[in-house]
Chains A and B, each alone.
Chain A
């Protein structure tokens, strides 16, 4: 229930005075100029309302200021639609820069004037009167601003009385009237096609929103003006003769609430992460659960933790609150990364994750998860437990297996640490992986496929890749076994009694090491030539590799040679035959076996007491 959760969140924010949320019926607009009038409606000046902002280059720049005004976004379209006490210079002053259609501009101004004069009696406020008098006497044709004024007439403008701090629309008389009209007629009068129906969110009869506004900005790749989740922008999407928003009865107030709060969430960089083409945003039901939320977000998503180390500056940015909080965050993440549940406050609060991906003017939901934060933490811990694979190389230690890292491993790898490249990741995969982590379900088969195929072509099996392969196989077996069911575990560290394909992987690692020991500095090892076929069609490759290894063994020192021969025999003793073909999952096991054995061969014996049989 995506929209109800967002609406709940909005209601909480509105109740919190510090949150500064725009209430229904208002919006924030970019205001660049202000028409200052005296009480009799005479123009005092057209003031610059912009505020100076320090740019990154250290220079000062003037930017329009955000002011809360009555009414929603400026309606689009070609009709004349004056706003209440705010608008652009064409409506406000009957002036437009390099005007191609002066008649149209004049008509706008006249519409604006008439709109306000109509309300004059009803509002009955001194300030509003002054504005009306100004509009009556203003000669838009004679108005010719100087160059300096033109510079700030570009955005929206407001009215202010000379000597007053607030704007006219903020005066008690005007705002009071506006709020009364909002309550009496929550729709705003301009929409003549309004309909009443049962709202699908509250179940109560309401005025239905035709368009859902404000538009949602901040989804990567969507239209910059904003896009909508609830949108019927093509005829084929409409049903039962209903038009636009009437296809989905959501009240105007509900639509405003969820759009506003979602827009706000997406603007908060701490709560947004890009996963493939999907923009993920999350929130928690209570502010007390902030640390728990942070832990969760960092362990599951955060990209900067890919370079996680204690001294990095990123780490300061992660939780700058105070040292104690940071320490708690760190321990909690480490615990979660080991697959354990950290001890945190607020874990019983509700937690929500929404993944949105763009489709031009529409947004589509890629994934959605909602439930207690504890459940989510458990799932993230489970994800890390499933991906636990030893040994972990020193520079990978303590790094959470974030979703992004999983996806990154599917990208091409030339042996050096890969750079995050969101473009190299299959977009669909990103959403599916995120969903698997959140739901605890099996990882998509396409993930295992992508990694196994990538390893076969690159010949590079990193810890991350092996860990993901292991996680995919483990998770699938567990889900198939059902809750409490028994299933065959995939070896976490080198296991001399592992399954057949695993032993084949081990054997390949030993043969490769034998070759490089015998012929140091070889340009092309058997890995380059045979890894792919050895893991897919062992019967076609291994007999040849074993023959070849005899030549390599002959080049080794006698003692060394005996040990290596023993090891090869030990591995072969677990194998009955060389299978003709290995299935995808078996190829995965092959790669894990290869990873384990190779790590073992390259590690000094004292550090790995598990691998006695490799003593040299």
Chain B
């Protein structure tokens, strides 16, 4: 099975990669999770013939939190009940009245995040024409095309993205970022104090992905941030 790597730079003013144990009154992981990264890559380019695998996540901005209060609702519209019968009949009530079902949630979200996602894809079926998929991904990422707007953990945290040449060296936390990486509409304050990313930081067990075929079971992997990078995510996963 052929494997091919790409790099994608993503950033945004806020992000929330909620920990499962604290996802109601949400507390974000310190760093983007591999499944969130996969979601972003797939938003830009995906075909049934390929499968994306996240291999590394580079953290470019210091890890900072802020709190956020959001309004939500307590219930879901039942997919099998109201929606199902409405689909059969062609009419029916499938509304939720937010003001009657109000819930307020507090969240600890990340602010001013900036990452480089390293991913590769495996060809599952069809002709093993990697160049075609690579080319399409690059063209789409370069021109800002996406199937749906990618987001940083939750829909309300918009993600911006840019293509990065896979050969580029990502600067270590002690070095400044290249000028063109900060010319984007991006808060200056987040570029300072990158040194705090140096060294090793144990992030504990982090959500790796959801195993949808086996009863949508979550899997976790031991995440360690070394000099701003979580590496070998796919291999770490196998060891866990």
A→B interface (CB under 8 Å): 1-4, 197-203, 229-237, 239-242, 247-250, 357, 359, 362-368, 428, 431-432, 435, 439, 441-442, 479-483, 485
Contacting pair B195 A250 (CB below 8 A) = no
**Residue ID in chain B nearest A231 by CB atoms:** B24
* Minimum Cβ distance to chain B for residue A235 (Å): 5
- Bound state CA distance, A301 and B159, in angstroms? 37
B92 at interface by CB-CB < 8 Å: no
For residue B202, which residues in chain A have a CB less than 8 angstroms away from its CB?
1
Q: Which 7 A-B pairs have the closest CB atoms?
A: A364-B25, A482-B192, A234-B74, A248-B21, A364-B106, A240-B216, A1-B204
For residue B20, which residues in chain A have a CB less than 8 angstroms away from its CB?
200, 247-249
- Bound state CA distance, A234 and B25, in angstroms? 12
Contacting pair A234 B103 (CB below 8 A) = yes
* Minimum Cβ distance to chain A for residue B190 (Å): 10
Contacting pair B75 A230 (CB below 8 A) = no
Contacting pair A362 B65 (CB below 8 A) = no
Q: Indicate whether A365 sits within 8 Å of B108 (C-beta atoms), given known contacts A201-B205, A235-B74, A435-B65.
A: yes
**Residue ID in chain B nearest A249 by CB atoms:** B218
How many pairs of residues, A versus B, come closer than 8 Å at their CB atoms? Answer: 118
Contacting pair B105 A359 (CB below 8 A) = yes
- Bound state CA distance, A581 and B56, in angstroms? 49
Contact partner of A359 (CB less than 8 A), chosen from B21, B25, B188, B203, is B25
- Bound state CA distance, A4 and B192, in angstroms? 30
Contacting pair A483 B195 (CB below 8 A) = yes
Q: Can you list 25 A-B contacts (CB < 8 A)?
A: A2-B22, A200-B21, A200-B218, A203-B205, A229-B22, A230-B21, A234-B24, A235-B76, A236-B72, A236-B73, A236-B75, A236-B103, A237-B23, A240-B210, A241-B216, A248-B19, A249-B218, A359-B25, A364-B107, A365-B25, A365-B108, A428-B69, A431-B67, A439-B64, A483-B195
Interface centre among A197, A200, A368, A439 (most CB of B within 10 A): A200
Contact mask for chain B residues 68-86; partner A; CB cutoff 8 A; 1 contact, 0 none: 0100111110000000000
Contact partner of B193 (CB less than 8 A), chosen from A230, A363, A482, is A482
For residue B75, which residues in chain A have a CB less than 8 angstroms away from its CB?
234-236
Contacting pair A432 B66 (CB below 8 A) = yes
* Minimum Cβ distance to chain A for residue B167 (Å): 28
**Residue ID in chain B nearest A197 by CB atoms:** B217
Q: Which residues of chain B in 5-41 are interfacial with respect to chain A, using CB atoms and an 8 Å cutoff? A: 19-25, 27
- Bound state CA distance, A28 and B205, in angstroms? 31
For residue B66, which residues in chain A have a CB less than 8 angstroms away from its CB?
432, 435
* Minimum Cβ distance to chain A for residue B228 (Å): 15
For residue A479, which residues in chain B have a CB less than 8 angstroms away from its CB?
189, 192-193
Interface centre among A199, A201, A248, A363 (most CB of B within 10 A): A248
B104 at interface by CB-CB < 8 Å: yes
B164 at interface by CB-CB < 8 Å: no
* Minimum Cβ distance to chain A for residue B28 (Å): 10
For residue A364, which residues in chain B have a CB less than 8 angstroms away from its CB?
25, 105-107
For residue A482, which residues in chain B have a CB less than 8 angstroms away from its CB?
191-193
Q: Indicate whether A480 sits within 8 Å of B220 (C-beta atoms), given known contacts A1-B204, A202-B205.
A: no
For residue B191, which residues in chain A have a CB less than 8 angstroms away from its CB?
482
Contacting pair A432 B67 (CB below 8 A) = yes
For residue B207, which residues in chain A have a CB less than 8 angstroms away from its CB?
200
**Residue ID in chain A nearest B67 by CB atoms:** A431
Contacting pair A442 B105 (CB below 8 A) = no
Contacting pair A357 B22 (CB below 8 A) = no
Contacting pair A368 B104 (CB below 8 A) = no
Contacting pair A250 B193 (CB below 8 A) = no
* Minimum Cβ distance to chain A for residue B115 (Å): 19
- Bound state CA distance, A200 and B218, in angstroms? 9
How many of chain B's residues touch chain A, expressed as a range? 35 or more
B222 at interface by CB-CB < 8 Å: yes
For residue A237, which residues in chain B have a CB less than 8 angstroms away from its CB?
23-24
B149 at interface by CB-CB < 8 Å: no
B240 at interface by CB-CB < 8 Å: yes
For residue B189, which residues in chain A have a CB less than 8 angstroms away from its CB?
442, 479-480
B→A interface (CB under 8 Å): 19-25, 27, 64-67, 69, 72-76, 103-108, 188-189, 191-193, 195, 202-205, 207, 210, 216-222, 240
For residue A441, which residues in chain B have a CB less than 8 angstroms away from its CB?
64
Interface centre among B21, B27, B72, B106 (most CB of A within 10 A): B21
Contact partner of A3 (CB less than 8 A), chosen from B21, B69, B192, B217, is B21
For residue A481, which residues in chain B have a CB less than 8 angstroms away from its CB?
192
- Bound state CA distance, A435 and B64, in angstroms? 10
- Bound state CA distance, A29 and B21, in angstroms? 27
Contacting pair B21 A203 (CB below 8 A) = no
- Bound state CA distance, A422 and B222, in angstroms? 41
For residue B222, which residues in chain A have a CB less than 8 angstroms away from its CB?
203
**Residue ID in chain A nearest B64 by CB atoms:** A441
- Bound state CA distance, A364 and B106, in angstroms? 6
Contacting pair A365 B27 (CB below 8 A) = yes
- Bound state CA distance, A1 and B224, in angstroms? 13
- Bound state CA distance, A201 and B106, in angstroms? 23
**Residue ID in chain B nearest A483 by CB atoms:** B195
Q: Indicate whether A236 sits within 8 Å of B64 (C-beta atoms), given known contacts A203-B222, A248-B20, A364-B25.
A: no
* Minimum Cβ distance to chain A for residue B156 (Å): 15
For residue B27, which residues in chain A have a CB less than 8 angstroms away from its CB?
2, 365, 368
For residue B103, which residues in chain A have a CB less than 8 angstroms away from its CB?
234, 236
**Residue ID in chain A nearest B65 by CB atoms:** A435
Contacting pair A4 B204 (CB below 8 A) = yes
- Bound state CA distance, A242 and B210, in angstroms? 12
Contacting pair A203 B217 (CB below 8 A) = no
**Residue ID in chain B nearest A241 by CB atoms:** B216
**Residue ID in chain A nearest B195 by CB atoms:** A483
- Bound state CA distance, A239 and B217, in angstroms? 11
Known pairs A199-B220, A231-B24; list 20 more (Cβ under 8 Å).
A200-B21, A203-B240, A229-B25, A230-B22, A234-B24, A234-B75, A235-B74, A236-B75, A236-B76, A237-B23, A240-B210, A240-B216, A241-B216, A357-B106, A359-B25, A359-B105, A363-B25, A364-B107, A435-B67, A441-B64
* Minimum Cβ distance to chain A for residue B71 (Å): 12
**Residue ID in chain B nearest A1 by CB atoms:** B204
* Minimum Cβ distance to chain A for residue B75 (Å): 5
Contacting pair A362 B25 (CB below 8 A) = yes
* Minimum Cβ distance to chain A for residue B21 (Å): 4
- Bound state CA distance, A231 and B72, in angstroms? 16
Contacting pair A232 B192 (CB below 8 A) = no
* Minimum Cβ distance to chain A for residue B217 (Å): 6
**Residue ID in chain A nearest B108 by CB atoms:** A365
- Bound state CA distance, A366 and B25, in angstroms? 10
* Minimum Cβ distance to chain B for residue A301 (Å): 18
* Minimum Cβ distance to chain B for residue A433 (Å): 11
Contacting pair B105 A198 (CB below 8 A) = no
Contact partner of A485 (CB less than 8 A), chosen from B25, B192, B204, is B192
Q: Indicate whether A368 sits within 8 Å of B21 (C-beta atoms), given known contacts A198-B218, A236-B76, A479-B193.
A: no
For residue B104, which residues in chain A have a CB less than 8 angstroms away from its CB?
359
* Minimum Cβ distance to chain B for residue A285 (Å): 15
- Bound state CA distance, A367 and B28, in angstroms? 11
For residue B205, which residues in chain A have a CB less than 8 angstroms away from its CB?
199-203
Q: Indicate whether A200 sits within 8 Å of B220 (C-beta atoms), given known contacts A236-B72, A439-B64.
A: yes
* Minimum Cβ distance to chain B for residue A239 (Å): 8
